[in-house]
Structure 1
Amino acid sequence: MKNLETPKTKLALFGVQGSVGNALLVESLGRQFETSVILSDLNAVTARPGIRAKQGDLFDPIGVSRSVAGMDGVICILSNPHLAAGADDRQLRSFDDQFVAIGALLDGLVIAGVRRLLLVGDFSWLDYDEQLPSPTLDLLEQRLLDSSLAWTLVDAPAVAEQLLEFDDFAHPHEGSETSELEPLRRFAAGVLDEFELANHIHERIRLTDHREVSP
């Protein structure tokens, strides 16, 4: 248990409007992190004790820098189709959108002086998807390799179509531990373990269990 003299870890989360995001929120609060969710629409999430909502534009480096200033690190769930969480409910579906978002994070965190970044998403493009433009893939990969940030790419888990809410993880019903709930709780624990320990800097990893990391 932390006391008043123990400094809190300050975490910023992008893309929390989904099952993975809710699992990460509950896990971060359980670890007594000072957690801020970054949104373009502050009404996109329900206000809860211990969770701060801050306005920020994921697709703009200056907007990112202002929203994450003072944080110890950032986790962005790129696999969330409602990543922007704006008034127009823009859905992040194209590789071009992800390209812009990753670039804004790489630049924005440097401006803000924040070094730790975890990206959760589908990184199959690193295997050179033939349907995507090769120059763009090369540019993004080179930007990551050249970045001074302590970044880690985490392959997103498969999730059910039914949204698992914050309360599903915080107050699970009897028998729910063997369903979709428990794997996502383990995944969230693994992500935050990596966030804190930073064992896989400049690597892409797959979490199979909260104690096991596969390259």
Structure 2
Amino acid sequence: MKNAETPVFKLVLFGAESSLGNALMVELLARQHEVIAVVDDLNRHAPRPGLHFKIGGLDDADQAAQSAAGGSAVIALLAPGDLTVQARMSEVLVAGLARTTIRRLLLVGDFDVLDAPGKYSAAQRESADRVADVLQRSALRWTLINAPDDFPGLGMEHFRSIDGTLEPGVSEPLRRLARIAAGMVDTLELDLHRGEHLNFVV
């Protein structure tokens, strides 16, 4: 039974097709939140109770606004590997959300550079600084999160049967990503870490 004191989100999820995205969808649905997963191909996804799929992306602010429309909060998992691309997508997302009523954002990307700038190039530091600056100048209640190590290929069924029989080598990353997803949903539900930069250590 749902606790009436726990807020129910209609969560818009960018990056839903990643392993962490699948972990988040399972965790959110288990807590009776509604999920709108933004994807580029509806044919790859089967409908589930509480889970809706929408074509969209972060190519420009109009697309970002249309993708997020109807939600009450956003989690954006930025594609790993290129901080310049992540900075551009972050700017597009913030500009798009400014056209909606959504004010809560969890932004996940390669932001370790903010913790250890000396390990990164000047261009990478500049890109991370751009992300932090655009968030700080926005009206959003944001949380910036370092992307965890990925383990590609984990789907929703893996996370639904986390205590079942697993392929060799899958158990540890599965449980790690599930715990990170639970921590991220806690951050939303309890309205924690506004304006903070987090690194989940599990």
Q: Is the 8 A contact 1:22 1:169 kept in 2?
A: yes
194, 201, 204: which one aligns with 2:194: 201
| Aligned-pair CA distance for 1:42 | 2.2
Distance 1:40 1:65 in 2: 15
8 Å CA contact retained: 1:59, 1:100:
no
Q: Is the 8 A contact 1:12 1:75 kept in 2?
A: yes
Note if contact 2:143-2:194 (Cα within 8 Å) is conserved in structure 1.
yes
* Gap change, CA 1:100 and 1:169, over 3 Å in 2: same
Instruction: Supply the distance in 2 between the matched residues of 1:157 and 1:15 (Cα, whole angstroms).
Output: 14
- In the alignment, is residue 35 of structure 1 matched against residue 35 of structure 2? yes
1:37-75: CA deviation from partner (whole Å, max 9, x where unpaired) = 012332343433321011223121111112212311000
Long gaps (5+) in structure 2: none
Structure 1: any 5+ residue segments left out of the alignment?
A: 82-92, 210-215
Give the AA of the match of 2:156: F
Change (3 A) 1:101 1:205: same
Aligned length: 195
State the partner residue of 2:145: 154
1:87 is matched with which residue?
none
Partner deviation per Cα, 1:56-109 (whole Å, 9 max, x = no partner): 23121111112212311000111x45xxxxxxxxxxx42222112101111111
Alignment-mate amino acid for residue 66 of structure 2: R
Residue in 2 aligned with 1:111? 99
Percent identical residues: 38
Partner of residue 183, structure 2: 190
Q: Using the alignment, how far apart are the partners of 2:160 and 2:126 within structure 1?
A: 44
Q: Distance in 1 between matches of 2:128 and 2:106?
A: 19
Q: Name the SS of the counterpart of 2:70 in structure 1.
A: coil
User: CA 1:180–1:133 in structure 2 vs 1: closer, same or farther (change >3 Å)?
Assistant: closer
